[in-house]
Every structure is written in structure tokens, then in C-alpha cells.
Structure 1
Amino acid sequence: MSFRTPLKQALGLGASHSGTSRWWAQRVSSVALVPLLIWLIIGIVRHGGADYTDAQAWLSSPITAVLTILTLVASFYHGALGMQVIVEDYVSHETVQLALVVLVKFAAMVLAVAGIFAVLLVALGG
């Protein structure tokens, strides 16, 4: 017994399977974010009452700067993937959907680059 419609059988079209790679990417980025965010939260709590020079000294360590940049990249990538799924699921008009996905990806990229620039500016003493 086949549940295929005559149109599906004629066209040979089925699921596009394009969502699988995004699903895996979101799972991998979420797994990467767990230790990164735990590390960042501990670092922020430990330096909570610090002034700018102490924060700059902490962030000027190469390991700290790299881990902070990785946290920013993973966070914005994960967030953009999640927002794309939300837009694709709940916006039915194709043109609006495409515009929103492009806007989400552009905003995530701009914010990630701004965050990386800020980290490098503080870490390098600018």
C-alpha cells in the first residue's frame, strides 16, 4: 500500500532533506556552547567587581580572548539557525520569509563581527 499521491509519483519529488544539516549544525553548536558558556559565566562572576584594567588584563590572555571569540561566534551562529527555523515555520509568505531570513543572518553576522572587534580592541589594549 502506497501513500504517495499521483502527483508525487509523477514528479518524483519528496522531502528535500535540507533541514538535516541545519538540525545537526544547531545540535553541534549547542554542545559547543555548553562548556564555553560555563567558562564565560565563571570568568564573569570571578571578575564581577573588577575595574576596566583588571578586565583588560583577563581578556588580554590569548586563551581567554580566543575562547570569548569562540563563544561569540557559536552563540550568534546558533541563534541565527534557531531564528531561521522559526521564520521558516511561522512565516508563510515566501518573499517576507526570504527577507527575514536574510535580515536575521545579516544581523547575526554584524553583531558577531562587532563583538569580535570589541574583544580584540580590549584584548590588544586599544
Structure 2
Amino acid sequence: MNYQTPLAKARGLGSAGVGSHEWWRQRVTAIALVPLTFWFALSVAGLPGLDHAAVLAWVKNPWNSLLLLSFIIATAHHAVLGLQVVIEDYVHTDWVKIFALLGVKLVFYFLGLAAIYATFRILFVD
């Protein structure tokens, strides 16, 4: 005979807060991307002529480069977190899930690093 109440049986079976860290990071990057996206769209739309020299001068501006690097990092990280949730929810084969998560992280972090490298190259080499 089991004398435990239903609440006692259910204690300790919850999520233990494991996924809340990623959930918060995704929300924080989403909030950060709202003003950064508006800034990026308006700044690029306001460039005169959109020629190579104008874009180089725009990137070499210290505020623009700082905000551009923030935009790149937040976008790459937000994309990884969002696709991770989709893969974890909708891919049910374990080996496919592992390779998909690894592939998404490798692709987006590589693209982020390539964009950061290109920005630093414009800032310090050109």
C-alpha cells in the first residue's frame, strides 16, 4: 500500500530548470535584435549610393563597427538557439538530432566568425 499523496509522487519529476537558461538567452537576444535590426536597416538604407567606398567608410566608423559586431553576434547566437529548439522538438531520431544540432552550430558560428573577421579586416587592414 502506497501512502504518498499525488503531490509527493510528482515532486522531483519536473524539468529542474534545465531549459530555462537557453529560453532566457533566446529572449534576451531577441530583445537586443529589435533595436539593432532597426539601426542596421536604417543605416544601410541611408548610405549614399551604396558603393564600396561608402560601405567601407560606414564600417570604419567606431559606433557603426561596434553595433555591427553586436548585430552579428546576436544574430548568429539567436539563430542557433532558435534552430536548436526546432530540432529538439521535431527531430525524433537520436543520431539525426545530434548531427543536425552539431551542423547548425558549426554553420552559424562559422558564418558569425567569418562576418566578424571581415569586419575586423575592414577596420584594421583596409
The alignment's TM-score, normalised by the length of structure 2, stands at 0.86
Q: CA deviation at 1:125?
A: 4.5
Match of 2:79 in 1: 79
Residue correspondence of structure 1 range 66-105 to structure 2 within 5 A: 66-105=66-105
Paired residue for 2:114? 114
Task: Give the conservation status (yes or no) of the 8 Å contact 2:48–2:54.
Answer: no
Residues in 1 aligned to 2:14 and 2:32: alpha-carbon distance in whole angstroms: 33
Letter in 2 for 1:44: V
**Aligned-partner residue type, residue 117 of structure 1:** Y
Segments of 5+ residues of structure 1 without an aligned counterpart are: none
1:98 is displaced (CA, Å) by 1.3
Pick 1 or 2: higher relative contact order, CA cutoff 8 A, min separation 6.
1
Give the AA of the match of 1:24.
W
| Residues 72 and 92 of structure 1, relative CA distance in 2, 3 Å threshold | same
On the 8 A contact 1:56/1:125 being kept in 2, the answer is: no
Go from structure 1 to structure 2 and tell me whether the alpha carbon gap of 1:96 and 1:16 turns closer, same or farther (over 3 Å shift). Answer: farther
Secondary structure at 1:99 match in 2: helix
Instruction: Give me the whole-angstrom Cα distance separating, in 2, the residues matched to 1:50 and 1:125.
Output: 21
| Sequence identity (%) | 31
Opposite residue 18 of structure 2, the aligned amino acid is: S
Deviations 1:25-66 (A, max 9, x none): 000000000111111101100016231111111110111111
Supply the AA of the counterpart residue of 1:31. Answer: I
Counterpart of 1:36, as a letter, is L
Residue-pair matches, total: 122
Gaps of 5+ in 2: none
Alignment match, 2:6: 2
TM-score (norm 1): 0.86
What is the CA–CA distance in structure 2 between the aligned matches of 1:48 and 1:73, rounded to whole Å?
26
CA RMSD, aligned part only? 2.0
